[in-house]
Amino acid sequence: MSLGKKDISRNITTKAQISSKISHNLLNKFLESIKTESRTKLVKISNFGTFYYHNSPKRLGRNPKTKEEYLIDKRSKLSLKVSSNIRNLIN
């Protein structure tokens, strides 16, 4: 089972007993601040993990249906290194 932004927003609404509009805005602002701050430095949330940007190199891609090859440009991706507490909880 996966959680989307709507599910997380709904959980915030019920647990914090606030309106869904406020919880939606709160979640969006939180995610936006993580994205913005991660551009320049590591964002560490204790007992959860560390957000950082990872540069992926240029690579060769292939369409599995047509077998057509194409070049995928290098990208900057937001990544999360999960803390050992969360990793132990999951496993």
Band of residue 90 on the pLDDT scale cut at 50, 70, 90: confident
Helix (H/G/I), strand (E/B), else coil: 70: strand
State pTM to two decimals: 0.74
**Cα distances (angstroms) measured from residue 29 to each of 4, 33, 55, 58, 84:** 16, 6, 24, 31, 26
Whether 1 has a pLDDT exceeding 70, the answer reads no
Q: Hey, what CATH topology would domain 42-91 get? A: HU Protein; Chain A (4.10.520)
Mean pLDDT of all residues in 57-74: 95
Strand spans (E) along 1-91: 43-45, 49-56, 59-62, 69-72, 75-82
The CA-CA-CA angle for residues 35, 6, 13, to 5°, reads: 100
Mean pLDDT of all residues in 4-18: 94
